[in-house]
Amino acid sequence: MSSVLLVAHHDRLEAAALARVAAAWLQHHGHDVWMLPDDALPLGLHDLESTRAASTADLAVSLGGDGTMLRTVKLVGSANVPIIGVNVGLMGYLTEVEPEALSHALERWFAGPTVGEWHIDERMLLAVSLTRCGAEHRQTWTALNEGVVEKQEAGHTIRLQVWIDGTPFTSYAADGLILATPTGSTAYSLSARGPVLSPRLRAVLLTPVSPHMLFDRSLVLDPSEVVEVEVLGHRSATLSIDGQPAATLVEGDRVSVAPADQVARFVRFGDRRFHQILKAKFGLTDR
């Protein structure tokens, strides 16, 4: 018997219906299934509610879009729980399974990797740390896509000093800086005209947001090259992690990124490559 956590989008009725389908299949086959209260209650799935820790799951099933996948990665934390993503969203870069194939995907998972033809896709995570000016204690978050240092006030840029391996690189006058993983290269960084990286790479992507300077290029760095961003001047900034506000920054505060010890583990069925997904999402033609 396996323990399976269901994580669902709160505002999509299809996600609630799919949670019922998944729960029925899993219970029928003798598996333990539950949802955390924050997911079960908004969807009216009270019978699935449990306060069990997400990290105790043997498998997590994400029912939503990429945002729900990001939340699932955060919930399972450092437990390296494999995640099956069911696409109930719009873009679906991270999700693997279409809703009508949910039961078949569960069958293939429990059949095992050889018979079921699945494999684990490991994705690099970032440890994003904040050190307050004059303090030694650090706050740390884990990001699958990116950490972003961005302006608070409309109509004003902020000044940010970038350090690489303890050496000053340059200061940016910009709306912000994105510190992204290869997975995050198709998220916010892409909209800021950053490059698309294969998620098989291990790299840190530094992309400026609307820079007011001649040097406006992204940098692709080896993960061993420690990147720090220091807030300069009197204008405050915000730090967000995978699109969620994390902290307000003031002059002298420093944000640094390094590879996290853990990885995100996505269950993949078949052999659909990243470039094929990219092609489909952007409607690219062969010629």
d(CA 167, CA 180): 20
CA neighbor of 6 nearest in space, from 283, 227, 27:
27
Tokens of 242: 């995978």
Beta-carbon contacts of 183 under 8 Å, excluding residues fewer than 6 positions away, are 94, 123, 124, 144, 145, 199, 264
Phi, psi of 38 (to 5 degrees): -65, -20
- Computed from CA positions of residues 213, 215, 218, 224, in that sequence, does the dihedral angle turn out positive or negative? negative
DSSP strand pairing (82-87 vs 59-64)? parallel
Beta-carbon contacts of 184 under 8 Å, excluding residues fewer than 6 positions away, are 143, 144, 145, 146, 178, 205
First-last CA distance in the chain: 49
d(CA 267, CA 285): 28
To the query of whether residue 38 is one of the catalytic residues in this protein, the response is no
Of the listed 39, 66, 242, 253, which one is catalytic? 66
Under DSSP, is residue 32 helix (H, G, I), strand (E, B) or coil?
A: strand
Beta-carbon contacts of 131 under 8 Å, excluding residues fewer than 6 positions away, are 137, 138, 253, 254, 256
* Residues identified as active-site: 66
